[in-house]
């Protein structure tokens, strides 16, 4: 039966937190979330989540964009698969995104809609999204604790260990000397089966990234995430990949199959990290995951939001398989924990 959406319900939420989440690009003083619910003519429903981490005020803007601009386009769609709806909507809003300079909000709202359409489609068939994507999908996925400020790494890694985590990602990009000193301490404290990753959140230019690589030479770091800006010249990424012994990771700030395809072809990244709520939803990220794996790279989804998107990210990783890990934010987030 063709998919035809008849209603969209949008909810914007903001949870207070006792401790701010600090990154190299800014500080999150609360935890926002934008959840949506779709329903079709038969009463089947599905849920999605739109990326709106930073700045928090962006959540309301994306909600208005969904309700006032995208909903009429969505209601006019009739298709046999979620992917057809995603591709059609992406084509319809392409010029609007160019006209407004709002490529990010459009991509993020489309991602949330696609997530919800896939959820609805799976429920209508009495199945799960992971089973629709890959019949032999795993029932569970490995995970790692992320969002750990290097300043708090000793305590936060200890707490994550108590929860059963054996892989940890620390945020760097603040003070080079202090970051690297603390990172050496973290690496020295790891158990035999534990893994450590680093995320610079686009903090550095090429010279700084190379300096970090020199200072951390010999440390058992699984990957270095976003050492450069996502739009830094490809030649800079390639040079860094050649000179740094740590494998590079990125993808959360890339959008479009063309951008991911170019990164896969370049092979400067060992880990591809699209964010299901930021671009592509299930449709786009599934295509990227399969292309990355076919090229011998690791699909390792990025996610740092609420519970709906986290569950979606887990379903996608379960379907894709491979050696990737599910990203689970170690910082408190009531809008995630309420679903788990």
What is the CATH classification number for the domain harbouring 269? 3.20.20.120
Give 67's contacts (C-beta < 8 A, 6+ positions apart): 8, 10
Domain boundary among 114, 132, 150: 132
- The rounded Cα 32 to chain-centroid distance in angstroms is 15
CA–CA distance, 139 with 315 (Å, rounded to integer):
9
Q: Kindly report the CATH number assigned to the domain that includes residue 23.
A: 3.30.390.10
Say if residue 1's pLDDT is above 90: no
Q: Are residues 195 and 65 in the same domain?
A: no
Domain boundary among 79, 109, 132: 132
Question: By residue range, what is the domain housing residue 114?
Answer: 5-132
| Three-state DSSP string of 138-192 | CCCCCEEEEEEEHHHHHHHHHHHHHCCCCEEEEECCCCHHHHHHHHHHHHHCCCC
Evaluate whether 246 touches 216 at the Cβ level (below 8 Å). Answer: yes
Q: Are residues 251 and 128 in the same domain?
A: no
Q: Are residues 140 and 51 in the same domain?
A: no
Domain boundary among 132, 165, 182: 132
What tens digit of pLDDT does each residue of 115-166 get? 999 999 999 999 999 999 998 899 999 999 999 999 999 999 999 999 999 9
Q: Taking the alpha carbons of 232, 210, 176, 329 in that order, is the dihedral positive or negative?
A: positive
Give 166's contacts (C-beta < 8 A, 6+ positions apart): 191, 193, 194, 195
Q: How confident is the model at residue 21 (pLDDT cuts 50, 70, 90)?
A: confident
Q: Are residues 113 and 141 in the same domain?
A: no
pLDDT recorded at residue 26: 83
What tens digit of pLDDT does each residue of 298-313 get? 999 999 999 999 999 9
CA–CA distance, 113 with 92 (Å, rounded to integer):
14
Q: Are residues 196 and 303 in the same domain?
A: yes
CA–CA distance, 202 with 60 (Å, rounded to integer):
26
Has this prediction a pTM greater than 0.85?
yes
């Amino acid at each position: 039966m063709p998919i035809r959406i008849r209603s969209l319900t949008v909810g914007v939420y903001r949870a207070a937190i006792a401790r701010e989440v600090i990154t190299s690009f800014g500080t999150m003083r609360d935890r926002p979330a934008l959840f949506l619910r779709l329903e079709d003519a038969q009463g089947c429903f599905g849920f999605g989540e739109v990326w709106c981490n930073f700045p928090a005020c962006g959540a309301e803007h994306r909600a208005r964009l969904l309700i006032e601009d995208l909903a009429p386009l969505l209601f006019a769609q009739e298709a046999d698969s979620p992917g057809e709806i995603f591709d059609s909507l992406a084509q319809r809003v392409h010029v609007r995104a160019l006209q407004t300079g709002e490529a990010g909000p459009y991509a993020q709202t489309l991602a949330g809609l696609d997530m919800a359409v896939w959820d609805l489609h799976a429920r209508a068939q009495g199945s799960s999204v992971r089973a629709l994507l890959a019949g032999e999908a795993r029932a569970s996925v490995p995970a790692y604790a992320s969002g750990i400020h290097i300043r708090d790494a000793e305590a936060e890694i200890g707490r994550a260990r108590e929860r059963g985590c054996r892989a940890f990602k620390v945020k760097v990009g603040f003070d080079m000397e202090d970051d690297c000193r603390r990172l050496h301490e973290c690496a020295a404290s790891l158990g035999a089966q534990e893994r450590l990753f680093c995320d610079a959140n686009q903090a550095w230019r090429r010279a700084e990234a190379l300096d970090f690589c020199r200072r951390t030479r010999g440390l058992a770091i699984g990957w270095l995430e976003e050492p450069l800006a996502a739009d830094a010249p490809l030649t800079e990424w390639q040079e860094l990949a050649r000179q740094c012994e740590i494998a590079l990771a990125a993808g959360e700030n890339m959008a479009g199959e063309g951008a991911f395809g170019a990164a896969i072809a370049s092979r400067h990244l060992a880990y591809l990290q699209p964010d299901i709520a930021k671009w592509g939803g299930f449709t786009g990220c599934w295509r990227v995951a399969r292309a990355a794996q076919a090229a011998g790279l690791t699909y390792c989804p990025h996610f740092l939001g609420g519970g709906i998107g986290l569950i979606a990210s887990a379903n996608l990783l379960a379907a894709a398989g491979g050696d990737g890990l599910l990203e689970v934010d170690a910082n408190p987030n009531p809008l995630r924990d309420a679903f788990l």
